[in-house]
Structure 1
Amino acid sequence: MVALARPLATLLDALSAARGAVLPWAPVMLSFGIGAYFLAREEPGQGAYALAGAGFLLALLLRLFGGERWHLPAVGAALALAGFLIAGARADLVAGPVLADRYYGPVVGRIVGIDRSFSDQPRLTLDQVSLDIVAPSRTPAKVRVALHGEDAFVPEPGQRVRLIAHLSPPDGPVEPGGFDFQRIAWFERLGAVGYTRDPVTVTAPSDGGPGLWAFRVRMWLSRAMQAGMEGQAGAFAAALMTGDRSGVTRATNDALRNSNLSHLISISGLHMGLLSGFVFAFCRYGLALVPPLALRLNTKKIAAVLALFAATFYLFLAGPNVATRRAYVMAAVMLVAVLLDRRAISLRSVAIAALIVLLLEPESLVEPGFQMSFGATVALIAAFQHWARVSARLPALLRPVAALCLSSLAAGTATLPIAAVHFNRIAEYGFVANLAAVPLMGMAVMPAGVVAALLAPFGLAAPALWVMEQGCRAILLVAAFVSGLDGAVIPVVTPVAWVLPVMSLGALTFVLTRPPWLRVCGAAAVAASLAGWNLAERPLLLIAGEGALVGLRTPEGRALSKAKGAGFVAASWLEDDGDLVDQETAFARGAFTGTRGQVRADLGPVALWHLTGKTSARRAEAVCTPGAIVVLDGYWQGGSPACRLFDAQFLDQSGAVAVQDSGQGIVTVVSARDLAGRRLWNDRGTRARRLGN
């Protein structure tokens, strides 16, 4: 025991001596608790929260009354336990009804969101929802409906509309362990999603509610910009200035994503930084041109206040979505640091911003936007720590170019593995695309947008808008050119679940610590995660949650049972496989043969049948022979099936299914519910117990 106590005491003393450099670790410790909440297989009960609360209080007592060497461990434990408690509290606070079953009928609601669906159709988000035959207490707070009809309806913020829609509860993961839309929808209070093919009827004009004024201003500005700029340049400009992406087509989004420029269209730290930075510099240097003011006033702090006002207005204009709020917090923390005579850009300020975001929205931790934003920021700060010393040795003309290259390389290196994990692709020429596009954003598009906003009340915005349009058009040309190059996109297989957390913790250890042995440990963790990337084995067979699609792994790649239908599921499976082909190509691989609605594939000696359509249940009995696998999008109507049956009733309970081959036959069946567990957002019983229904 003595032999163990001495190293522990030495470690605690070392932590105590380094307490001035541990603030950047505070959000990391908070993240441990938040991550533990989201990783839980069952929704934590009152006992778990009581235990965590007691542990939190004990940690605080240890911090207040324990020896100095115990201060940092106590604070770390308190932060981790607080993260667990905050995540659970947040999940309860946003709780709302989720549609219990499929619904077809009238939907009445108020428009509070306008965007585009995966199929490139206009999409409305409605609140104040009313559904026929659904009790108000069980009606979702929000629903989202894609408009698939040919109606010329132009939605306006705040309008009350009536439409006939197909609605269903938010879907779970498209495969076990995959992206969980149900969790995202829960925290957005989105209780149903669907589509309509019928015209939309306006039952009342905008109600003028105070909560929608920013939305109305946003849409008015967006449409004005799109009316004054031709094509996708106007839609792109509107998206980055107002947050309205409803005019950006899927083709444009794909080009931006494949060239690693998609971050330019999502209002994030780059936009908020460019805007507030331009306003700060404009105000400070403008005041410097007036000597009486420059000699009597602290122009730096005045510029910081004005930049903070500009960032706040941008937040309300662009909408309080997660990415925009996160970017605002980061910018606000840095500007407040200027007001307090502290370093604006430092690891401490980034840590404070991360703490604020995680305390307000702990679910951000598991979203790619949070991970990429803070990962890029930390990498940039670390890369530029010694920039002043290095740049002094470079010719003056090369310094801006070198700084741009270094920033693109640092941010790109930090975000590349995160993007690869979440989006299954690497933009091979993303570095080049960013070198060309980011300066256009910083020197033309954003400054022109700010100048246009200042001149618009006087009717003089046209020249600035023209500059902005040309800059946006040039960025889109860069995106189209780079995305069209051979090998522009490198597909990446989805790694095992532990890869990204281990890589992130290793990278943070390398950046945030000073002892060489800790940095070596961090680098080793990153190397181990990269080596473990290829340990993932994709399932032999995938079955969609509603039985609408089946995917079989073949030597040529995954073959799909249908050429059309369930497009989002098909695209997700192929991307997770690291396969760039489309659904029709995957179907044409020929593993499935037969007629429409009844196809067959062979898994060695086992026959696999996929039956769809209104008569699928009647046809299923003929093919449900011993040893066969039958996937049915309807409900089995016979007695005990002789085959291995996956019908609608089974899949309603299990969610998507993966079947794996151990080499000795098909032995492992894993359902999405098995891996996701029973949580508030995916289990009706858990929800009812927690909410008292």
Structure 2
Amino acid sequence: MGFDLLAEALFAQRHRFGLWVPVWLGLGVSAYFSLRFEPDAWILSSVTGLVLMAFPLSRIGPDVMRVLVWVPALIALGFLVTAGRARLVAAPKLGWHYYGSIEGTIVHLDRSGSDKPRVTLADPVLERTAPQRTPDRVRVSLHSELAGTALKPGARIMLTASLSPPAGPVEPDGFDFQRMAWFNRLGAVGYARAPPVLAVPANNRAFALRVFALRMQMSRHIQHHIPGRTGAFAAAIITGDRSQIDPVLLADLRRSNLAHLLAISGLHMGLLTGFVFALIRLGIAAVPYLSVRVQAKKIGAVVALLAGAGYLLVSGANIATQRAFVMVAVMLVAVLLERPAITLRAVAIAATLILLFRPESLSGPGFQMSFAATTALVAMFEALNKSRGWQALRQSRFWLLSPFASLVIASAVAGAATAPFSAFHFNQMAQYGLLANLASVPVMSLIVMPAAVIAGVLTLIGLESGAFWVMGQGIDWILGVAHFVASQEGAITRIKSGPVWTLGLVTSGALIVVIWQGALCWVGVPVAILGLVFWASADRPDLLLTHNGRMAGLQTEQGRAVSRAKGNGFAAMNWLENDGDGAGQAEAAARFELDGDDWRVAFKGTTVAYLWGKKRSVAEVQSACDAADLLVAPQWTEKITGPCQAITAAELRKGGAVAISVEPEGLKITTARQVSGARLWNMR
């Protein structure tokens, strides 16, 4: 009886199975990344066999069982695709700290977190370094006054820089920059204090370099017509060039929940292709001879698809833009095939394609937030279109209210859908985000993007100035709204980080509600709530140490206190953000009441002693160990014997950043390496 009920419930979902495909693939991707070791040949062979077995097994047995066969097969496929992708992008990684000359070809320009010009160089040449040990790409922040003068796409430059291997997480279970760098084939990062020197002028024969050069040329053209911060914003939303974005502006956009307007994603792609589609259809309809002889809708779909492909190309084709283009392409192809265009099935197809070709994007905020917003919006409007009340409003004399109501609903739903992911990745929630979006998205939709399309067309005949002026006025309004909202008291709420699996629970609950048909869909609500409860109740570590032990972060009643006011700024910023603490490093350092390189502190009945420096006597180190429960000696290389637990140079070199929590059974010491394991991207 129980099996029959289960089979009946599953059979009722057979038409929704396609919507679960990216979910099962995503579980396989997550399984690969959650391993603490790199799967070897026999594991990959077994997983491949599981995938292949699905084909014959899906042809036998009851219909429900046939469908269920594909669930483990798709999970295995996600695992296998990710493992293959990780090996496909394998490239040399710098294994030591390097200082010397570098020569390389400029393939990307942006700005660092400290607002310095930053350049990515391909095919670098490092002195005294064999080609087989040289990374494919290196990224260098330029700290000189004239840093940007010689930066031309495709040019080979020479500079003297300090490089290091990509760093691991700043705390266990934190953001893994090493993994991101591995999939971007980035083998070293560093900085240069002297300006670069042009070695070989740009010779953009490669297609990718030609596109890069075109993007930067378009960016300069836009900023020529729209100067200042407004022009930098315009260039960013058209070409993806953020190299001139003011950090203060970026902070305003984030605090007002308008940063998504800067990222080229579904909104931009949808507005551009939608405007082109409508323009072509209206243009054909305006000519009676054509309107009765050609299918305006299909011609509009083809032209819009080409416009979207061009936008993808010139905007840099990041993950969010790829996702948006795939989504739009699926919809426009549906128009050509005379099928419903905006459906959850189209969202599932887009997600499946992205996961098959770029599985590493699953863990990024761009993928998560864009698909969360799109899925929620499509599901909501599918439900509204079936609602009698909504249909009655659209057919009543108050039908003009429906566009405004749609905007309010869309902003609220998209904001609610992306809120958990924004809180998890950025540790903050914008309190007035709905207000800011209601005031800005219509301007983006009705003024900025249409003006951008018109400016692009008029550029061909040199009459683009007027369209750029209109675009600039719309952007000025958006930036004004962002600044006004961001400056309000209580504009953001700080959120502490939680375990990754809590976000997984929240996501799983939401997917059950959206995809499952029938009353059982509401099971997803308590699942999501349970994830939020576990997230909110999760404890942060009592003590954190950087990978080299140079800085410590101690949890106090005032918040986390860091042991240094300068240096290790990236680690300090991430620790405080993960605590949900808005303090800066200097403020957090003021909470640390102990002075000097050596200190001793007691908390929760535990004493921690810290010794810095190599010139220590054995007796001194032994005495510190005898008087403490935990001794941290980052530069001590000899073995310590005594009653204390010890963290020395050997432990830090092997394990990386350290998190320490005081628990009833004693000290719990966790290293970054224990959490991440030995993987392709962190092997030495």
Q: What is the TM-score of this pair, normalised by structure 2? A: 0.95
SS in 1 for 2:423: helix
Using a 3 Å threshold, how does the CA distance of structure 1 residues 16 and 131 change in structure 2: closer, same or farther?
A: same
Corresponding residue for residue 393 of structure 1: 392
Equivalence for 2:651: 650
Distance 1:209 1:619, change over 3 A: farther
- Cα 1:525–1:152 shift into 2, 3 Å: closer
Partner of 1:514, secondary structure, is coil
**Partner residue, 1:107:** 102
Give CA-to-partner distance per residue, 1:588-611, whole Å, 9 cap, x none. 11x34223x555544456243263
Q: Which residue number in structure 2 is paired with residue 537 of structure 1?
A: 539
Amino acid at match of 1:399: S
Q: 1:290 to 1:160 in 2, by over 3 A?
A: same
What's 1:174 paired with?
A: 170
CA distance in 2, matches of 1:466, 1:619: 67
- For the Cα contact (< 8 Å) 1:33–1:80, is it kept in 2? yes
- Measured after TM superposition, the shift of residue 253 of structure 1 is 1.1
What is the CA-CA distance between 1:270 and the residue it aligns to?
A: 1.0
Alignment match, 2:460: 457
Specify the alignment match of 1:225 in structure 2.
Answer: 222
Quickly say closer, same or farther: Cα 1:387–1:471, change in 2 above 3 A.
Answer: same
Residue 537 of structure 1 aligns to a residue whose secondary structure is: coil
User: Conserved in 2, the CA contact under 8 Å of 1:129 and 1:142?
Assistant: yes
Structure 2 portions without partners, runs of 5+: none
1:38 Cα deviation (Å)?
Answer: 1.1
- In structure 2, how many angstroms separate the alpha carbons of the residues matched to 1:157 and 1:369? 26
Q: Which residue of 2 aligns with 1:315?
A: 312
User: Does the Cα contact within 8 Å between 1:258 and 1:489 map onto a contact in 2?
Assistant: yes
Distance 2:13 2:550 in 1: 57
1:435 maps to 438
SS of 2:280's partner is: helix
Q: Which residue does the alignment assign to 2:243?
A: 246
Name the residue aligned to 1:90. Answer: 85
In structure 1, what is the Cα distance between the partners aligned to 2:575 and 2:148? 34
Aligned mates of 2:522, 2:132 — CA distance in 1: 56
Instruction: Report 1:573-588 matches (<5 A).
Output: 573-588=575-590
Shift of the alpha carbon at 1:533? 1.6
State the distance in 2 between where 1:280 and 1:578 align: 44
Identity %: 46
Contact 1:260-1:433 within 8 A present in 2 as well? yes
Q: Distance in 1 between matches of 2:323 and 2:564?
A: 41
SS of the aligned residue for 2:220 comes to helix
Name 2:49's counterpart in structure 1: 54
Is this contact kept in 2: 1:261–1:430, CA < 8 A?
yes
Q: 1:401 deviation in Å?
A: 1.2
**2:647 and 2:473 mapped to 1: Cα distance?**
55
Structure-1 separation of matches of 2:326 and 2:172: 34
Corresponding position: 1:65 with 2:60: yes
CA contact (8 A) 1:594 1:600 kept: no
Letter in 2 for 1:297: V
Q: How far off is 1:26 after superposition?
A: 1.1
- Residue deviations 1:211-255 (CA, integer Å, cap 9, x gap): 211110111111121222232111011000000000002111111
Following superposition of structure 1 onto structure 2, how do residues 562-581 of structure 1 map, counting pairs within 5 Å? 562-581=564-583
Is the partner of 1:568 in helix, strand or coil?
helix
8 Å CA contact 1:592–1:599 kept in 2: the answer is no
1:266 to 263, 266, 273: 263
Offset of residue 20 of structure 1: 1.9
Aligned to 2:29: 34
| Separation in structure 2 between the aligned mates of residue 66 and residue 93 of structure 1, nearest angstrom | 38
Equivalent residue, structure 1, for 2:491: 488
Which residue pairs with 2:500 in the alignment? 497
Structure 2 counterpart of 1:687: none
Cα distance in structure 1, aligned partners of 2:211 and 2:199: 22
Specify whether residues 17 and 398 from structure 1 end up closer, same or farther in structure 2 by C-alpha distance, changes over 3 A only. Answer: closer
Q: Which moved more, 1:201-210 or 1:550-559?
A: 201-210
CA RMSD of the aligned region, Å?
1.8
**What is the aligned partner in structure 2 of residue 235 from structure 1?**
232
Asked whether the 8 Å contact 1:15–1:72 carries over to 2, the reply is no
- How far did residue 205 of structure 1 move? 0.7
Q: Within 2, Cα distance between the matches of 1:148 and 1:623?
A: 40
Alpha-carbon distance, 1:15 to partner: 2.5
Kindly provide the amino acid, as one letter, of the partner of residue 32 in structure 1: L
SS at match of 1:96: coil
Letter of the 1:361 partner, please give it.
R
| Contact 1:225 1:234 survives alignment (8 Å) | yes
Which of 10, 15, 19 is residue 15 of structure 1 equivalent to?
Answer: 10
Q: Distance in 2 between matches of 1:100 and 1:337?
A: 50
Q: Secondary structure at the match of 1:166?
A: strand
Instruction: Name the count of aligned residue pairs.
Output: 670
CA contact (8 A) 2:121 2:139 kept: yes
Match of 1:370 in 2: 367
* Equivalent residue number for residue 301 of structure 1: 298
Q: Secondary structure at the match of 2:615?
A: helix
In structure 2, how many angstroms separate the alpha carbons of the residues matched to 1:405 and 1:630? 56
Letter in 1 for 2:268: H
Write the letter of the residue equivalent to 1:191: G
Task: Quote the Cα distance in structure 2 between the aligned partners of 1:352 and 1:431.
Answer: 29
CA drift at 1:422: 1.0
Deviation of residue 77 (structure 1)?
2.2
1:287 aligns with 2:292: no
Alignment equivalent of 2:512, drawn from 502, 509, 513? 509
**Closer/same/farther in 2, CA of residues 620 and 540 from structure 1, 3 Å limit:** farther
Cα distance change on mapping 1:605 and 1:65 into 2, 3 Å: closer
Aligned-pair CA distance for 1:513: 1.3
CA pair 103-592 structure 1, distance change in 2 beyond 3 A = farther
Counterpart CA distance in 1 for 2:434 and 2:617 is 53
Match of 2:338 among 332, 336, 341: 341
- 1:564 Cα deviation after fit: 1.4
1:169-210 deviations in Å (ceiling 9; x for gaps): 111111001111111111111111111112211101112222
Contact 1:27 1:355 in 2 (8 A): yes
Equivalent residue letter for 1:558: R
Question: CA shift at 1:78, angstroms?
Answer: 1.8
Q: 1:659 maps to what in 2?
A: 660
Structure 1 residue aligned with 2:122, among 127, 140, 144?
127
Task: Say if 1:42 and 1:678, in contact at 8 Å, map to a contact too.
Answer: yes
Q: What's the secondary structure of 2:317's corresponding residue?
A: coil
Please give the secondary structure, in 2, of the residue aligned with 1:449. Answer: helix
Question: Comparing 335-344 with 656-665, which one deviates more in the overlay?
Answer: 656-665
Q: Partner of 1:196 in structure 2?
A: 192
Q: Deviations over 1:405-431 (max 9, x none)?
A: 000011111000111111111111111
CA distance in 2, matches of 1:372, 1:152: 34
Contact 2:331–2:346 (CA under 8 A) maintained in structure 1: yes
- Displacement of 1:14 in angstroms is 3.8
**Structure 1 alignment gaps of length 5 or more:** 1-5, 685-693
SS in 2 for 1:523: helix
Q: Per-residue CA shift, 1:339-366, capped at 9, x if unaligned?
A: 1111110011111111111111111111
Q: Which moved more, 1:495-504 or 1:14-23?
A: 14-23
Q: Distance in 2 between matches of 1:637 and 1:344?
A: 64
Q: Rate the CA distance shift 1:532–1:644 in 2: closer, same or farther, 3 A.
A: closer
Measured at CA, do residues 282 and 674 of structure 1 come closer, stay the same or move farther in structure 2, by a change above 3 Å?
Answer: same
Distance 1:105 1:600 in 2: 40
After TM superposition, give the deviation of residue 12 of structure 1 in Å: 2.9
Q: Pick closer, same or farther for the CA change 1:631–1:592 going to 2, 3 Å.
A: farther
- Residue 60 to residue 132, structure 1, CA distance change in 2 (3 Å): same
Return the letter of the residue paired with 1:222.
S
Amino acid at match of 2:382: Q
Kindly indicate whether the alpha-carbon contact (under 8 Å) linking 1:172 and 1:180 is maintained by their aligned counterparts in 2.
yes
Q: Secondary structure at the match of 2:392?
A: coil
CA separation of 1:648 and 1:450: change in aligned 2, threshold 3 A: farther
TM-score (norm 1): 0.94
Structure 2 Cα separation of the partners of residues 555 and 22 of structure 1? 50
**Compared with structure 1, are the counterparts of its residues 630 and 162 closer, same or farther at alpha carbon in structure 2 (3 Å cutoff)?**
farther
The residue number in structure 2 matching 1:681 is: 681
